[in-house]
């Protein structure tokens, strides 16, 4: 049965940039804290997938700091990419009196039952960065424009190869260029968005023969790396070099910096040197990969400012708890199989050696020393 705990009232007329507004149609989550108008001491559960990747550590710490700033108590947990661990952490948050949950899922389809428990106790749920699928108990979603992230990854691959110039215009270079394709974890809803966005850019060049995939592996299922594991990507890249019959690889579409590191290791072991490494993309602007970009190894990454994402999630929680309107800017894209989850999408930026200082250092995301 379709169900909506918060009525979505569209207060603005046009899409993304303007921001739509969802109206708190129930007092769910507006319990003690909301009624008194004070958030002091209200407990918020924050479930993050893993500490194996810097970005999720930064996400967790940002969300925690921003909630604490507003006077909330925070129960922050990382699940070591283990689904049963994440489920039991969320159960503990509920039992511990959480008044709202912010969840970055490992596998977006595995939380239905524990979220039913949250719903029975009127605890609002925000899906953080990754959509929670198959549950009508997700109130709001905040993320980046994930399809656009994929478009940016593919665009930077083409720019690095020289097929496009820095303005995104075709240069007339016709290759053919040999590329291999990687996708993210098939149980992460974002992975398909990244892939579809990237393929929308690459497919015409694959069709026209400007791009060629020596391994012949062009399906998402073949390209996907379960749990986004760098070692799995490294093993697959080693296999692809063999399957590709020794043809020189000019570019690799990689959807995440951790995978890019594994891919570059495989390429280096396979005989490529820093001077002739293929164009390798990425995502998240993790320190190791930005350093690799500066060293001329990885070509690009996609910067997603998790400070903004954290702020958005915290604002959503704070609005719900205080019975205020929740701002969203997308009410169409994220259908989780049960409901279309009202979402707030943020924008991402392509980073290369040419703009990393401006985007990452000048914005205060990293200090020059860290890089």
- Which residue lies nearer to ligand BGC by CB, 107 or 284? 284
Rounded Cα gap, residues 350 and 304, in angstroms: 9
Who contacts 107 (Cβ-Cβ below 8 Å, separation ≥6)?
83, 187, 188
Rounded Cα gap, residues 108 and 230, in angstroms: 21
Give me the least distance between CB of 283 and ligand BGC, in Å please. Answer: 5
The answer to whether 327 and 21 are in contact (CB under 8 A) is yes
- Which residue lies nearer to ligand BGC by CB, 210 or 306? 306
Q: In the block, which residue shows the tokens 């309107």?
A: 325
Number of residues that bind ligand BGC (CB under 6 A): 12
Q: Are strands 125-128 and 140-144 parallel, antiparallel or unpaired?
A: parallel
- Which residue lies nearer to ligand BGC by CB, 6 or 128? 128
CA nearest 177: which of 203, 217, 211, 213?
Answer: 211
**Cα dihedral 144, 145, 151, 157 in deg (nearest 10):** -10
- Which residue lies nearer to ligand BGC by CB, 236 or 304? 304
Rounded Cα gap, residues 244 and 262, in angstroms: 18
Give me the least distance between CB of 188 and ligand BGC, in Å please. Answer: 5
- Which residue lies nearer to ligand BGC by CB, 220 or 272? 220
Instruction: Count CB-CB contacts under 10 A for residue 76.
Output: 18
Rounded Cα gap, residues 30 and 36, in angstroms: 9
Which residue stretch of 10-18, 183-191, 198-206, 336-344 sits at the interface with ligand BGC (rule: CB under 6 A)?
183-191
Q: Is residue 256 at the binding interface for ligand BGC, with CB under 6 A as the rule?
A: yes
- Which residue lies nearer to ligand BGC by CB, 106 or 210? 106
The answer to whether 109 and 15 are in contact (CB under 8 A) is no
Q: Is residue 312 at the binding interface for ligand BGC, with CB under 6 A as the rule?
A: no
User: Mask: binding to ligand BGC, 276-305, rule CB under 6 A, as x and -?
Assistant: -------xx-------------------x-
Count of H-run helices and E-run strands, the chain? 12, 14
Which residue stretch of 19-27, 184-192, 309-317, 333-341 sits at the interface with ligand BGC (rule: CB under 6 A)?
184-192
Give me the least distance between CB of 256 and ligand BGC, in Å please. Answer: 4
Rounded Cα gap, residues 330 and 15, in angstroms: 7
Give me the least distance between CB of 56 and ligand BGC, in Å please. Answer: 6
- Which residue lies nearer to ligand BGC by CB, 21 or 283? 283
- Which residue lies nearer to ligand BGC by CB, 28 or 130? 130
Binding residue for ligand BGC, selected from 190, 298, 319, 343, defined by CB under 6 A: 190
- Which residue lies nearer to ligand BGC by CB, 78 or 228? 228
E strand or H helix that includes residue 269: helix 257-269
CB hemisphere CA count around 276 (13 angstroms): 7
Binding residue for ligand BGC, selected from 81, 119, 129, 147, defined by CB under 6 A: 129
Q: Is residue 53 at the binding interface for ligand BGC, with CB under 6 A as the rule?
A: yes
Give me the least distance between CB of 69 and ligand BGC, in Å please. Answer: 24
Q: Is residue 336 at the binding interface for ligand BGC, with CB under 6 A as the rule?
A: no
Q: Is residue 187 at the binding interface for ligand BGC, with CB under 6 A as the rule?
A: no
Rounded Cα gap, residues 202 and 137, in angstroms: 36
Residue of closest CB approach to ligand BGC: 256
135 to 154, contacts with ligand BGC by CB under 6 A?
none
Binding residue for ligand BGC, selected from 139, 147, 187, 188, defined by CB under 6 A: 188
Who contacts 124 (Cβ-Cβ below 8 Å, separation ≥6)?
5, 6, 28, 29, 100, 101, 139, 140, 317, 320
Who contacts 204 (Cβ-Cβ below 8 Å, separation ≥6)?
none
218 to 237, contacts with ligand BGC by CB under 6 A?
228
- Which residue lies nearer to ligand BGC by CB, 284 or 330? 284
Residues forming contacts to ligand BGC in the complex (CB under 6 A) are 53, 55, 129-130, 184, 188, 190, 228, 256, 283-284, 304
């Amino acid at each position: 049965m379709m169900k909506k705990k918060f009525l979505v009232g569209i207060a603005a007329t046009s899409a993304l940039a303007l921001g739509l507004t969802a109206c708190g149609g129930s007092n769910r989550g507006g319990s003690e804290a909301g009624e008194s108008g004070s958030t002091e001491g209200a407990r918020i559960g924050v479930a993050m997938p893993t500490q194996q990747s810097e970005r999720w550590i930064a996400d967790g710490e940002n969300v925690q700091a921003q909630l604490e700033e507003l006077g909330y108590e925070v129960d922050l947990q990382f699940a070591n990419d283990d689904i049963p661990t994440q489920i039991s952490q969320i159960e503990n948050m509920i039992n511990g009196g959480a008044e709202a949950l912010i969840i970055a899922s490992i596998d977006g389809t595995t939380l239905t039952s524990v979220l039913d428990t949250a719903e029975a106790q009127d605890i609002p749920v925000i899906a953080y960065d990754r959509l929670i699928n198959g549950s009508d108990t997700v109130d709001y979603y905040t993320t980046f424009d994930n399809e656009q992230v994929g478009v940016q990854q593919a665009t930077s691959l083409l720019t690095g190869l020289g097929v496009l110039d820095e303005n995104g215009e075709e240069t007339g270079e016709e290759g053919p260029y040999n590329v291999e394709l990687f996708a993210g974890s098939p149980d992460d809803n974002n992975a398909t968005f990244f892939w579809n966005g990237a393929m929308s850019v690459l497919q015409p060049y694959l069709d026209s023969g400007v791009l060629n995939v020596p391994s012949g592996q062009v399906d998402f299922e073949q390209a996907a790396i379960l749990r986004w594991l760098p070692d799995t990507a490294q093993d697959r890249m080693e296999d692809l070099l063999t399957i590709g019959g020794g043809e020189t690889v000019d570019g690799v579409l990689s959807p995440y910096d951790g995978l890019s590191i594994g891919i570059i290791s495989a390429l280096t072991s396979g005989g490529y040197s820093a001077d002739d490494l293929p164009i390798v993309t990425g995502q998240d602007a993790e320190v190791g990969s930005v350093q690799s970009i500066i060293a001329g190894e990885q070509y690009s990454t996609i910067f997603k400012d998790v400070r903004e994402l954290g702020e958005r999630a915290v604002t959503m929680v704070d609005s719900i708890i205080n019975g205020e309107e929740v701002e969203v800017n997308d009410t169409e894209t994220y259908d989780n199989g049960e409901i279309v989850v009202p979402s707030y999408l943020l924008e991402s930026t392509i980073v290369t050696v040419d703009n990393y200082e401006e985007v990452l250092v000048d914005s205060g995301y990293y200090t020059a020393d860290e890089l």
